[in-house]
Chains A and B, each alone.
Chain A
């Protein structure tokens, strides 16, 4: 397994957002982490990259326990996150955002130059707007930039938090195609999404979370055909 968690528990003060979950992600997979708002998906991702501290349990990434590593250390080991809401550096240009994405490689390395030219070819819109401030891009363009920025570090595992949030349907489909392309090119992906149908379309496997726990797991097709997901979303709606 590239990534596995055992009894992962994450909380903010007295509130436990994630209550002892076990997740596995194997190399080359797209794994979807689904669930209603407040189910604990983003908290899980934030804990995996070291932005939120882990209260209990263990995270193993690439053969090493990473519980106490900082985001700075984890990105150097090949784990990175595209955060919810894109969070591109609005006051910086598109190119500067990409430079920061490849910061750990060193801007003079060949890996950096190769990644930059490869990603600019993959995202023509970013090439066209290279010198434009990221804050002036549209939502879909910002999402492409956020993903490209994360890919600049050549991650082994890319965590994507709600890449389709707030985007127009046609753009959402493009983003999902892109995620599928990234996997085809060898990147393993753990995807947190609201858009269940599209996620299960591209995912090899999925986990369904509710109230901080894993409710069910299965292949993308299995989950898509069962009605448990629908129930989980409705159930959470009732509780809230």
Chain B
């Protein structure tokens, strides 16, 4: 029982990070109809900002928000430079553009910083753990869970209580009519990228806090996972992205914990097999988007 609870805490922590990443993908997809595969490079950007901040002696408490802001600015720059010129193109064009952006950034990180993994200086507290009700829980896991919870609440308030948030949801449902309301396309899309950059930044800080290192390809795997999570939850649906993120986190952690030693090499395949089974049962995802397939932008 204790082992199970321990693994559940792990699953919530990992699932939360996937959920934040999947949410970032879903926000952009719901508004632009594009999967931004360069989302992972926003995470990597956060990692390098944390690394340089650590080398410069900036305390982590200050470096973390700076890193998140950098990810937001990077996301907005990405939109302005790479995605705006192809905004009215086909989905395939936008997808390829996002791959190109990802690869350009990876190459820049490799050539301008280092091909190898770089250590990130973290406060000692992240290596510690606390006893809660007989369970040993790492500080980084607790912070992961708390930060995810706070982010989900903040995002919910932003999207439901502010005019800009309501405008974003409207634009995701019916972009031409949103423009008839006087909602500026550029502002909404730029805002959506800022929001998704913030989510990628927060996820990046959590990811680096677990690993204490950063490398040029760091963002690829988590974003691929987040993409799976977004599809599992229902592509374009925000609550679906959160559900899919947590579901994938639970699947991965429980498989690692309970699959016998000899079958461990196959756990990724088993995990993806489960995802396929879920999608066979619910082809539109766990919580399908309400109004997809309409005109974008």
Contacts A72-B185, A89-B169, A100-B178 known; 17 new A-B pairs at CB < 8 A: A51-B180, A71-B182, A75-B181, A80-B180, A83-B177, A89-B173, A89-B174, A89-B177, A92-B169, A92-B173, A96-B169, A96-B170, A99-B163, A99-B166, A100-B170, A103-B181, A153-B182
Q: Given contacts A99-B166, A100-B166, A100-B167, is CB(A91)–CB(B291) below 8 Å?
A: yes
Which of A70, A75, A103, A135 contacts B167 (CB under 8 A)? A103
Q: Mark A99-114, 1 if CB is under 8 A from B, else 0.
A: 1110110010000000
A49 at interface, CB cutoff 8 A: yes
Task: Return the chain A residue nearest B169 by Cβ.
Answer: A92
A81 at interface, CB cutoff 8 A: yes
Are B177's CB and A72's CB within 8 A? no
Number of A-B contacts (CB under 8 A): 67
- Minimum Cβ distance to chain A for residue B174 (Å): 6
A87 at interface, CB cutoff 8 A: yes
Which of B166, B170, B177, B180 is the most central at the interface, judged by chain A CB atoms within 10 Å of its CB? B180
- Minimum Cβ distance to chain A for residue B87 (Å): 14
Q: Given contacts A89-B174, A91-B173, A91-B291, is CB(A103)–CB(B180) below 8 Å?
A: no
A149 at interface, CB cutoff 8 A: yes
Which of B167, B169, B181, B290 is the most central at the interface, judged by chain A CB atoms within 10 Å of its CB? B181
Interface majority SS (helix, strand, loop, mixed), chain B: helix
Please report the C-alpha to C-alpha distance between residue A101 and residue B183 in the assembled complex, in whole angstroms. 9
Task: Return the chain A residue nearest B184 by Cβ.
Answer: A72
Q: Mark A51-83, 1 if CB is under 8 A from B, else 0.
A: 100000000000000000011100110001101
Are B169's CB and A76's CB within 8 A? no
- Minimum Cβ distance to chain B for residue A155 (Å): 11
A90 at interface, CB cutoff 8 A: yes
Please report the C-alpha to C-alpha distance between residue A107 and residue B162 in the assembled complex, in whole angstroms. 9
Please report the C-alpha to C-alpha distance between residue A162 and residue B178 in the assembled complex, in whole angstroms. 19
User: Would you give 8 A-B contacts (Cβ < 8 Å), ordered by A?
Assistant: A51-B176, A51-B179, A72-B179, A72-B184, A83-B176, A90-B173, A96-B169, A101-B181
Task: Return the chain B residue nearest A46 by Cβ.
Answer: B176
Please report the C-alpha to C-alpha distance between residue A89 and residue B260 in the assembled complex, in whole angstroms. 50
Task: Return the chain B residue nearest A112 by Cβ.
Answer: B163
Collect the chain A residues with CB atoms within 8 Å of residue B174's CB.
87, 89
Are A49's CB and B167's CB within 8 A? no
Q: Given contacts A99-B163, A100-B166, is CB(A70)–CB(B179) below 8 Å?
A: yes
Collect the chain B residues with CB atoms within 8 Å of residue A103's CB.
163, 167, 181-183
Interface size on B, residues (CB 8 A): 19
- Minimum Cβ distance to chain A for residue B231 (Å): 20
Please report the C-alpha to C-alpha distance between residue A70 and residue B166 in the assembled complex, in whole angstroms. 21
Collect the chain B residues with CB atoms within 8 Å of residue A149's CB.
181
Please report the C-alpha to C-alpha distance between residue A150 and residue B182 in the assembled complex, in whole angstroms. 11
Category for how many chain A residues contact B: 20 to 34
Question: Which B residues form the contact surface with A (CB < 8 A)?
Answer: 163, 166-167, 169-170, 173-174, 176-185, 290-291
Collect the chain A residues with CB atoms within 8 Å of residue B178's CB.
100
A-B pairs with lowest CB-CB distance, top 7: A104-B182, A75-B182, A71-B179, A100-B181, A91-B290, A87-B177, A89-B170
- Minimum Cβ distance to chain A for residue B107 (Å): 37
Which of A72, A90, A104, A153 contacts B290 (CB under 8 A)? A90
Collect the chain A residues with CB atoms within 8 Å of residue B170's CB.
89, 92, 96, 100
Collect the chain B residues with CB atoms within 8 Å of residue A91's CB.
169, 173, 290-291
Task: Return the chain A residue nearest B290 by Cβ.
Answer: A91
Are B166's CB and A81's CB within 8 A? no
Task: Return the chain A residue nearest B163 by Cβ.
Answer: A107
Which positions 9-30 of chain A face chain B at CB distance < 8 Å? none
- Minimum Cβ distance to chain A for residue B285 (Å): 16
Task: Return the chain B residue nearest A107 by Cβ.
Answer: B163
Please report the C-alpha to C-alpha distance between residue A192 and residue B10 in the assembled complex, in whole angstroms. 60
Please report the C-alpha to C-alpha distance between residue A99 and residue B180 in the assembled complex, in whole angstroms. 13
Collect the chain A residues with CB atoms within 8 Å of residue B182's CB.
71-72, 75-76, 103-104, 153
Are B290's CB and A75's CB within 8 A? no
Are B291's CB and A100's CB within 8 A? no
Collect the chain A residues with CB atoms within 8 Å of residue B176's CB.
51, 71, 83
Collect the chain B residues with CB atoms within 8 Å of residue A87's CB.
174, 177
Collect the chain B residues with CB atoms within 8 Å of residue A99's CB.
163, 166
Task: Return the chain B residue nearest A50 by Cβ.
Answer: B179
Task: Return the chain A residue nearest B181 by Cβ.
Answer: A100
Are B183's CB and A100's CB within 8 A? yes
Task: Return the chain B residue nearest A146 by Cβ.
Answer: B177
Please report the C-alpha to C-alpha distance between residue A150 and residue B167 in the assembled complex, in whole angstroms. 15
- Minimum Cβ distance to chain A for residue B27 (Å): 15
- Minimum Cβ distance to chain A for residue B253 (Å): 33
